[in-house]
A and B are shown apart, each in its own frame.
Chain A
Amino acid sequence: MTATKKLRVATTSLAGCFGCHMSFLDIDEHLFELIELVEFDRSPLTDIKEVGDCDLGIIEGGLCNAENVHILREFRARCTKLVALGACAVNGGLPAQRNHFKLTEILEEVYHTSPGLANGLIPNDPELPLPLNKVHPLHEVVKIDWFIPGCPPSGEAIWKALTDILAGRDPDLGFGMLHYD
Chain B
Amino acid sequence: MSTQPDLLYSEEEEALRAAVRDLLADHCDAPGVIARTESDNPHDLEAWKALADGMGLAGLLVPEDQGGQGATHREAAVVLEEVGRAVAPLPYLTSAVVATEALLGCETDGGLLAELASGRKIGALAVALNVAPGGAHKVVRHENGALHGELTGIADAAVADVLLVPADDGGLYAVDADAVTVTPQTSLDLTRPVATVTLDGATGRRLGDAEPAVRRALRAGAGLLASEQLGLADWTLTETVRYLKDRKQFNRPVGGFQALKHRLAQLWLEVVNLRAAARNAADALATGEDVDVAVAVAQAYAAPVAVHTAEEAVQLHGGIGMTWEHPVHLYLKRAKADSIAYGTAGAHREALAELVDLGAP
A and B held together in a complex: no
Interface residues in chain A, defined as those with a beta carbon under 8 Å from any beta carbon in chain B: none
Interface residues in chain B, defined as those with a beta carbon under 8 Å from any beta carbon in chain A: none
